[in-house]
Structure 1
Amino acid sequence: MSDRPQQVVINSPLDMHLHFREGAMAQTVIPLSSYSFAGGVIMPNLVPAVNNLERLTGYLQEIKSIVGDDVFQPYMTVFFKDYSYEELEQFKPHILGIKLYPAGVTTNSEDGVAALDRVETTIKYMEELEIPLLVHGETHGFVLDREKLFLPIFEHLANKFPRLKIIMEHITTAEAVALLDRYENIFATVTLHHLIITLDDLAGGLLRPHLFCKPIAKRPEDREALLKAAIAAHPKLMFGSDSAPHPIDKKEACGCAAGIFTAPIALAALAELFAKHNALDRLQAFVSDNAQKIYDIIPPQKFITLESIPFKVPATYGDVVPMFAEREISWSITKLF
């Protein structure tokens, strides 16, 4: 048997759900995504939210200035509110979609939607203008059931707005996976961490704050359903890391901030996971091709070579602790061109 490492080359990998923050934090985390990905969908839940054209263009310029010479396309979103048709027309050339947060369900979502029936006019306009709707799909119910309880809302939207492209963001349940095959206009992203951990990893022993996120990790059977769909490269499922950096003093604290930081290890960890399941030939579709087809985008060309060469994850990146900190991943990025 050859001792040569396994290798896979990914063309234009995409991260379809990213939190870039602003200011000093952005300076730390943006280069970790722009180095290894060709593009990413940027979330708008900042303070203040990205919800007008001036804020959008200003944020885009900040991102581009930090990306510098890296080959990376930021796909922008704006924070959902009751927009007029004219406002949406102005947004359309600058955005990939609009992100809807139910009020108060996650970080910086206090100004999200409190009653969906009051904003359906905006959703109708989005359907007419062919602007995708990206949704953080959780209610305020029992924490393990919040996504499941939200699924009827996805079904309502899919039926009432059949030409609207609906993205269920960072799905965590077997029931959400099942919706992909029931509605033509429903798609989804899934994170690295929800393919690997369950609630037991977070809270089965001592509490591990750096594995706390929203939506919270679920049951083993949910993880298995997500993993099965991902390694099969289900055509309606895309990789979206939901990489969400917080400083150490916000994570290792009472009132721990929700978010897992995976940007610097995402591709290597995915290669390790797909190799484990003999599915390296489907990694390209999961991290790029599916997203290109779903959103009808052509990202910049960027080839990333990954090999089965161990990589030890640093303890921190700046003031942020990554997933798998100080552990070894059996795959590494070895070449970019």
Structure 2
Amino acid sequence: MDKITLQDPLDMHLHLREGALLKAILPFSARPFSTAVVMPNLTIPITTTKQALDYKAEIESLSAHFKPLVALYLHEKLSSQELEQAKAAGLFLLKLYPKNATTNSDQGVDNILSPQMLKILEIAQNLGFILCIHAEDHGFVLDREYNFHPILTTLAQEFPRLKIIIEHISDTRSISLLERYPNLYATLTLHHIALNLDHLAGGALNPHLFCKPLLKTPKDQQALLNLALNAHPKVAFGSDSAPHLIAYKHTHTCSAGIFSAPLLLSALCSLFEKHNALDKLQSFISQNAMRIYALKDIPHKTITLIKKPPNPPKLPDGLYMPQIFPLHWSVDAICSHLL
């Protein structure tokens, strides 16, 4: 096979940042992807409907044929009125950050199972929101996702009509939760299915592969890769592409995040071809998310890739994208279709 066509690629976890960085990196995602779930952990978190709509409008003004799905930053003081206003405005995603778990999460939730938070989540369930969770606690770094299981279990049982997304699933022990609870789903990143802890720290430390959740063991990587290669119906692709300026990577307090957006489709095609699973890529990159998130009215795109190593992307000054593995496919054509 020397050509592959993908329809309506979707990225269900994306960091677009703000200001000059937003303008610089947006085309890497807005050109090949139809839709992306855009994270709200900006310098000033997106906690209100107005902030979310303003951010959405800014992204749309800088792109074409691309629908940003901006998530609302969940916090203890979120009111029922704000939730109702958000839903009426077309917002349907809530992002839960445990306090201080990752970048710009200092205004996250301290006690997720507090009566106040459970009340907010009950309202969210009744309004039809989807809850996206950075599912880690503050324990030993390789066990943080596993340690979060009791909270996920409680939420899945308490709110059976609330769709809950375990974002960037990274631990093989989390897979059983997806099988056990009908309302639990997950997103998978490229880096968690292609890399493990050895790539980060097995030789010289590579700060550009430092992310949260941390890359795990080869066993975890293989189990997650199998989910992707089989297009497991409970998982969708979410890159968690998270750019940081080199100055914040080459420092004594390295920021967490892997910038992967510029060559995502090339990398996914190369990885799926290596494992003889190109027939599953369309479901993983689009169809699963369409069903899980019940997406409608998205811009339609046809992406044609050819069997040819891609040219190195022209990155903005101050950014670096790690080469994860050799790439054998490149985007040849992008065709946008009117709705």
Give the TM-score, by structure 1 length.
0.95
**Structure 1 CA distance for aligned equivalents of residues 85 and 162 of structure 2:** 19
Q: Which runs of 5 or more residues in structure 2 are unaligned?
A: none
What whole-Å deviation, never above 9, does each CA across 1:250-304 have from its counterpart, x for those lacking one? 0111101100001111111000000111111110000100000001112221000
Which one of 155, 158, 177 corresponds to residue 156 of structure 2? Answer: 158
> 1:47: Cα distance to partner?
1.4
Report the alpha carbon displacement of residue 328 of structure 1 after superposing the two structures with TM: 4.7
Instruction: Measure how far apart 1:318 and its partner are.
Output: 3.1
Partners of 2:44 and 2:215 in 1: how far apart?
28
- Of stretches 41-50 and 298-307 in structure 1, the one that deviates more from structure 2 is 298-307
Cα shift readout 1:119-169 (whole Å, capped 9, x = no counterpart): 111001011111010000000000010011011211110011111100000
Deviation at 1:314, TM superposition (A): 4.0
Question: Could you tell me whether the CA contact under 8 Å between 1:243 and 1:260 is conserved in 2?
Answer: yes
| Rounded Cα–Cα distance in structure 1 between residues aligned with 2:320 and 2:314 | 6
Alignment of 1:268-307 (within 5 A): 268-298=266-296, 299-307=298-306
Q: Give 1:309's aligned residue.
A: 308
Q: CA RMSD in A?
A: 1.3
Distance in 2 (alpha carbons) for counterparts of 1:64 and 1:174: 37
| SS of residue matched to 1:63 | helix
Q: Determine the structure 2 residue equivalent to 1:207.
A: 205
> Any conservation in 1 of the 2:96–2:134 contact (CA below 8 Å)?
yes
1:168 and 2:163 matched: no
Give runs of ≥4 in structure 1 deviating > 4 Å.
Answer: none
SS at match of 1:302: strand
Residues 1:57 and 2:56 aligned together: no
Identity of aligned residues (%): 45
> How far is 1:43 from its partner?
0.2
Q: Which residue identity does 1:308 align to in structure 2?
A: K
Q: Secondary structure at the match of 1:297?
A: coil
Contact 1:315 1:322 in 2 (8 A): no
Asked whether the 8 Å contact 2:92–2:128 carries over to 1, the reply is no
* 1:103-122 superposed Cα distances (whole Å, 9 cap, x missing partner): 00100001100001221110
Once residues 306 and 239 of structure 1 are traced to their aligned partners in structure 2, the CA distance between those partners, rounded to angstroms, is: 18
Unaligned runs of 5+ in 1: none
Q: Give TM-score scaled by structure 2 length.
A: 0.95
The amino acid of 1:116's aligned partner reads I
| Corresponding residue number in structure 2 for 1:96 | 92
User: 1:47-84, CA deviations, whole angstroms, 9 ceiling, x for partnerless residues?
Assistant: 110001221122112111111xx311101111001322
Deviation at 1:320, TM superposition (A): 1.2
User: 5 Å matches for 1:82-93?
Assistant: 82=76, 83-92=78-87, 93=89
For 1:64 and 1:123, the matched residues in 2 are separated by 29
Does the 8 A contact of 1:271 with 1:283 survive in 2? yes
Aligned residue in 2 for 1:240: 238
Contact 1:312 1:328 in 2 (8 A): no
- Letter paired with 1:78: L
* Matching residue's letter, 2:68: P
For the 8 Å contact 2:113–2:151, the answer to whether it is kept is no
Residue 240 of structure 1: how far off its partner (Å): 0.2
